[in-house]
Structure formats: C-alpha cells, structure tokens
Amino acid sequence: MSNRVHVAVRCRPINEREKTRGAVPCFEIDNTRCTITDQASGEQRQFTFDHCYMANGNLQEEQAEIMKDLGTEVLSQAIQGYNVTVLAYGQTGAGKSLTMIGKPQSPVSDE
C-alpha cells in the first residue's frame, strides 16, 4: 500500500472544432512526462507525473489502463477503511467526467 499522493495527467486530442480553426497539438506524452511547446517561441517545458495518459480513441482500453494504474489501489485502500480522494481538475470540456465515470454504454470490464 502506498501512502503518498499520486499525480496523473490525461490529455485529450484536438477536437473537430479546434481542427477547423487550424489548431495543432502543443504537447507530447511519454509515460511519466508531458512536454509542452510554446508554438510562437518554440520554447519547451517538461512536467513529470506519476502517470501520463493520452487519449487514443479507444475509451474502454484507456479507462481500463487508468483503473489498473490508479483506481484499483484507491478502491482497495477505501475498502480497508482508509480515507481516499480522487480529484479531477481541468477546463470545461477537458474530459474530467469522462475520466471519472466513462460512458454509460461502454463500461470497463472487470478483467
């Protein structure tokens, strides 16, 4: 059991509205690192997390990976009587509710 704070980031791809406006991705994800590039200056900043996730279009697979990496331990600790918290933070439309509860028509299997 880990008794420390775990920090994860999940990035969504550019949506159709953003594509029609000419937007291009400004970040790269690599397991525990997120690199953000300022497109005007080319300056890059790297941020390190416990887990980094990039939406790949397969919601069920993505949700299962997040559950395996984060959810299982949190649920186990809660069942053991420990206080646990899962916090989703971000801009409106960024995918917080999707990450926390998924889509009702595509539940994650218990495999």
Look up residue 28 and give its amino acid.
Answer: E
CA–CA separation, 11 and 27 (whole Å): 9
Q: What is the pLDDT of residue 43?
A: 96
Give the model's pLDDT for residue 107.
Answer: 54
Mean pLDDT for all residues in the chain = 84
Q: What is the pLDDT of residue 106?
A: 55
Nearest one of 74, 109, 54 to 1, comparing CA atoms? 74
pLDDT tens for 72-87 read 888 898 999 988 888 8
Token pair listed for 11: 């990035």
Confidence class for position 93, pLDDT limits 50, 70, 90: confident
72: alpha, beta or left? (left if phi > 0; alpha if psi -120 to 50): alpha
> What does the alpha-carbon distance between residue 54 and residue 66 come to, in Å, rounded to a whole number?
11
Q: Is the pLDDT of residue 1 over 80?
A: no
Q: Is the pLDDT of residue 65 over 70?
A: yes
CA atoms within 13 A on the CB side of 71: 13
